[in-house]
Amino acid sequence: MNHLKRSLLLCCLLLFSCKEYKVGKNSTLRAEPAKRDLAQIQADGKLHALIAYSATSYFLYRGQPMGYEYELLKRLADDLGVELVLHLSRDLDEMLSELQKGEVDIVAHGLAITAERKKEVSFAEYLYITEQVLVQRKPDGWRKMTLDNIKEMMVSDPIELIGDTVSVRKNSSYFKRIKNLSREIGGEIIIDTLTGNYATDEIIKMVAEGEIKYTLADKNLASINASYYPNLDVSVPLSFSQRIAWALRPEAKQLLKATNEWIKKEKKETDYYVIYNKYFKNKRSFRRRVISPFYSLNQKQISRYDPIIKENSKLLGWDWRLLASLIYQESRFDPNAESWTGAKGLMQLMPGTAQDLGVTETADAGEVIRAGSKYLRQLYRNFAQVTDTVQRIKFTMAAYNCGYSHVLDAQNLAREKGLKDSIWDDHVEKMILALSFPKNYNHEVVKFGYVRGLEPFQYVEQIFQRYDHYQKFIDREEPANRSLAGS
């Protein structure tokens, strides 16, 4: 939830907003695409960004969305006071085309600023500077060789690439660089053109596994990947330094100005460099992610409890990924989690509720998730008068978080204020926030008093936001049966 909207809701609880939640596919732009600029984006309340699914840009790890571009985009959307809507690129070669057609407002990808690209799009203030390097595999048995022997068997000068084959995407800056390099060294380098659905990380992996011989990559990306593939060499530079930036439509001048101002401001903050280092410098964390079964580029799993969550979601008739998002919200999948209120375990059940549901101190994960799911089902049945399924789920989640009685109070207050008591979005959610203030929790229709309304408000919102990420990365089909041993 961006800071602007939260402030507006807390200060102007009786006003209607233009918020819209997504449960399935991303919504389309409502304004005329070519004319969308900052004013239209802020009026719409949404920034539509195109992003790549890759090991550094945007991915899921242990149930949490992560990525360099993802983290920066969240901060940008917050700064603009709008909701971030992510569109996954299916073809990296078509990213600029999708921007030009107005399908998105910004391309958040590590694009090298080139004269040719500047004819088509506007580039924001650069994010960082890097250079392109050759990615090649060390010779077989390299661990037993001397350093000199290894160097003798690998390319150390671009001239040695004459007559050899380098694999890159056609519309990438790497393709243009190989073309130019061939002219500069006066000999042809054969280009093996790869399709745009290969991320640079995947192409680097192809080199490591012997599927292709050479590729080009930005040095920071090549280096972090080489930390996991020790048989790779990324020491040969093939370009001068290049600025890396995001792309916008030339017509979106105000959005470009706002983005530039935001980037310049961010560069003065420590967090900006912490985020960069997290994805391009911290090699230990990168290796830990890459080998994890809960890294979405690997096995498409959210947690080690996926099979149990899938089975128990049937009690509710919910998408199992939605239940998984709720459990992450409660405990981050930590079975030993305990809150300051005394709630415990994966589902953060209060002691009294756990006892009513037959959950003992020695209950295993399956018993805890089953009990929590049964409690959710009880709450869901209490909102039978809510006919919209998504709204009913949101009422259920709010009640799970702050108690059924407080949600009833919010519904009563909504009716009193002329709002709809069967709609959570923009109606009852405003009243749950209102119950934090004396004039509201002391109202005659309110029976159960004060509640920290921001908690259930954010609780529901964040579960659905995370669910939106889960839908992008994780298939709905039943996850593979696997042992719950290990982490």
Q: Tell me, what's the pLDDT at 359? A: 87
480 occurs within a structural domain = no
In the block, tokens 């899921």 appear at 60
224 and 253 share one domain: no
445 occurs within a structural domain = yes
166 and 82 share one domain: no
466 and 324 share one domain: yes
Burial grade of 203 (CB within 10 A; 0-12, 13-18, 19 or more)? buried
How many independent structural domains does the chain possess? 3
* Lowest pLDDT segment from 22-36, 257-271, 456-470: 22-36
200 and 344 share one domain: no
H or E element at residue 47: strand 46-51
Cα dihedral across residues 243, 247, 249, 252: positive or negative = negative
Contact indicator for 436, 16 with CB cutoff of 8 Å: no
19 and 114 share one domain: yes
31 and 159 share one domain: no
379 occurs within a structural domain = yes
256 and 225 share one domain: no
> Is 70 exceeded by the pLDDT of residue 472?
yes
Q: What is the mean pLDDT of the chain?
A: 90
Residue range(s) defining the domain that contains residue 260:
3-123+246-291
Residue 476's CB is within 10 A of a number of other CB atoms, namely 11
Total length of the chain:
487
* Lowest pLDDT segment from 254-258, 292-296, 371-375, 469-473: 292-296
118 and 184 share one domain: no
Q: Tell me what the mean pLDDT of segment 246-258 comes to.
A: 98
Q: Position 323: which residue type? A: L
85 occurs within a structural domain = yes
For the annotated catalytic residues, the residue numbers are 330
Q: Tell me, what's the pLDDT at 66? A: 96
279 and 317 share one domain: no
142 and 200 share one domain: yes
SS3 457: helix
pLDDT digits (tens, 9 = 90+) for 410-433: 999 999 999 999 999 999 999 999
Q: Tell me, what's the pLDDT at 34? A: 58
483 occurs within a structural domain = no
178 occurs within a structural domain = yes
Structure tokens at 174: 């790497």
At residue 291 the predicted structure's pLDDT band, cuts being 50, 70 and 90, is confident
Domain containing 402 — which CATH number? 1.10.530.10
149 and 196 share one domain: yes
> Is 50 exceeded by the pLDDT of residue 21?
no
296 occurs within a structural domain = no
Provide the percentage of residues in the chain whose pLDDT is more than 90: 80
421 and 436 share one domain: yes
Domain containing 201 — which CATH number? 3.40.190.10
Residue 31, CA atoms < 13 Å, CB-side half-sphere: 19
